[in-house]
Amino acid sequence: MTFVEYKQLNPFQKFAYNFKKFFLNIPGALGRFFKGIGKAIVKFFVSIGRGFKNYGVTFAKGDWATKLSYLIFGIGDIHKGKIYKGIMFFLAEVLYILYIVFFGWQYISKFGSLGTVETHQVQDGIIKRTVFGDNSMLILLYSVLTIVITIVVFAIYIANIKDAYRHQLMRANGEKPTTLKEDAKDFLDGKYHITLLSFPVLMISIFNILPLIFMILIAFTNYDKAHMPPGTLFTWVGLQNFESLFDIVNTPKKATTFLELTEWTLLWAVIATFSNYILGMIVALMINKKGIKLKSLWRTLFVITIAVPQFVSLLLMNQMLQTNGAINVLLTDISHLFGGTEQVEIQFLNSSTFMARATVVIVNIWVGIPYTILSMSGILMNIPEDLYESARIDGASPFKTFSAITLPYMIFVTTPQLITQFVGNINNFNVIYLLTGGGPSTEQYYQAGKTDILVTWLFTLSMTSQDYGLAAAIGILVFIVCATLSLIIYNNSKSMKDEEAFS
């Protein structure tokens, strides 16, 4: 279809065309995505091969000091007069060896089995004393630490060789190595970004990356209520946790729970995201309309809900929606006004699945749209006025102005925000946990209720039934779903493909 043909279609045909195109594009997008991954993997292995080649070539071409650097860090640098750097390389090696000998080895050596000696008790006089054996959790944790340190030290090792060879070449060319003073100056000038970033990177590695690797590894162990350190050991079980989430034959309950909760999680994420988005947009448009008086008053009124912390509103809502809560009392009073005698006792949260889910969605709209209104108002006020002016001169109707200017502009600006909200809703712990606690309960699920989403189930699994391995596996799956969806949607959005559209 040519551009001219497209322009002649009516809006419905245009929509149908775009709709079709979007879905036809998905296989292609997925294909590109996996092709990209494949390319990256090939590139990675090629670079490793090149690394090995350089490693050998450098050794062949190096002088005695460079060759010795292959065993003792920093010798090459010291020999070429770059004393301070050589000493630092050397110190890194010494520290690493000390670390492994005195600390790392006792854990990393048990990494394969996660410990063999169970905790037991011995009689010591009248008092029985507990002798702690291997602690699988600490073995796993410190092994991860040791592996990360080893990778870093390996990087230092390679850097040490490269540096030694570089200085060898410099000497051959008659150049002198830079002094400590010059290097320090460089760190405040040309390499200032390194100075600034080193601390945050270090902290992220310690507080984010390390625990993340640790948690991911737990998904492949049988760390659960029957295998609790320090009393008992846990060990590797491969993909068993993942299997139990999909194996409808051997573990029907867990598999049903997982599949049905995934369904509800995705449904919830879609409904919650778009209901907030569309309703927030409508309210923002109404407030922003020309001729509306006291605009800032309306805006403030809506935003006031943000002033109360979300979890407080949610807990209050939970109380109000109880069988004897404020809402039922209010409904009873109203029914009495009209001659009713019965007490109204609607079970909002703990009886019917549909009722509970609808209640959650509505309460989420109530706590959520102020944020949408806030950002939408900002965007609406930023749309260039001349666009509307020219539309008016050309005789465009208000609906046409909306569908041709306002809506595309808003979608263009807010696609990334929509993605974050969608992912946020997949992991929207607060609304579900504080409002319903997962209820209404059911015997069809394992440790979950009808409004539980995957993260709240994960929480119950780790906090009450102590199925840490299973919970970690669910966490990984949730991450995979979120990451794939976000990447595909974002890469296909206008905001990504056509950055300049509205500038």
Considering only 34-42, 262-270, 338-346, 357-365, which stretch makes contact with other proteins by CB under 8 A?
A: 338-346
Give the footprint of other proteins on residues 254-313 (CB under 8 A): 254
Give the footprint of other proteins on residues 191-210 (CB under 8 A): 191, 194, 198, 201-202, 205-206
Give the footprint of other proteins on residues 464-483 (CB under 8 A): 464-466
Residue 412 within binding range of other proteins, rule CB under 8 A: no
Name the pairing type of β-strands 127-131 and 120-124. antiparallel
Measured in degrees and rounded to the nearest 5, phi and psi for residue 311 equal -70, -30
> Measuring CA to CA, which residue among 104, 163, 112, 161 is closest to residue 136?
112
> Among positive and negative, which fits the CA dihedral 328, 434, 483, 375?
positive
145 or 410: whose CB is closer to other proteins?
145
Residue 156 within binding range of other proteins, rule CB under 8 A: yes
Residue 152 within binding range of other proteins, rule CB under 8 A: yes
Q: Cα(286)–Cα(320) distance, rounded to whole angstroms?
A: 30
251 or 335: whose CB is closer to other proteins?
251
What is the rounded end-to-end Cα distance, in angstroms, of the chain?
A: 28
Give the footprint of other proteins on residues 423-462 (CB under 8 A): 439-444, 446-447, 449, 460
Considering only 40-48, 63-71, 93-101, 392-400, which stretch makes contact with other proteins by CB under 8 A?
A: 93-101
The answer to whether the bond into 370 is cis (omega within 30° of 0) is no
163 or 376: whose CB is closer to other proteins?
163
> Measuring CA to CA, which residue among 146, 309, 123 is closest to residue 213?
146
Q: Can you tell me which of 350, 364, 372, 456 binds other proteins, judged by CB under 8 A? A: 350
Residues in Cβ contact with 43 at an 8 Å cutoff, skipping those fewer than 6 apart: none
Closest contact distance (angstroms) between CB of 250 and other proteins is 8
133 or 408: whose CB is closer to other proteins?
133
Closest contact distance (angstroms) between CB of 72 and other proteins is 15
Residue 386 within binding range of other proteins, rule CB under 8 A: no
Considering only 15-23, 51-59, 250-258, 303-311, which stretch makes contact with other proteins by CB under 8 A?
A: 250-258
Report how far apart, in Å, the C-alpha atoms of 124 and of each of 129, 133, 338 are: 6, 17, 78
Residue 334 within binding range of other proteins, rule CB under 8 A: no
63 or 93: whose CB is closer to other proteins?
93
- For 97, how many CA atoms within 13 A lie in the half-sphere containing its CB? 9
Q: Cα(451)–Cα(373) distance, rounded to whole angstroms?
A: 27
Closest contact distance (angstroms) between CB of 232 and other proteins is 7
Residue 47 within binding range of other proteins, rule CB under 8 A: no
- Tokens at 344, concatenated: 């109204």
Give me the residues paired with residue 131 across strands: 120
Closest contact distance (angstroms) between CB of 83 and other proteins is 14
* Tokens 């079970």 belong to residue: 347
> 464 near 447, Cβ under 8 Å?
yes
Residue 328 within binding range of other proteins, rule CB under 8 A: no
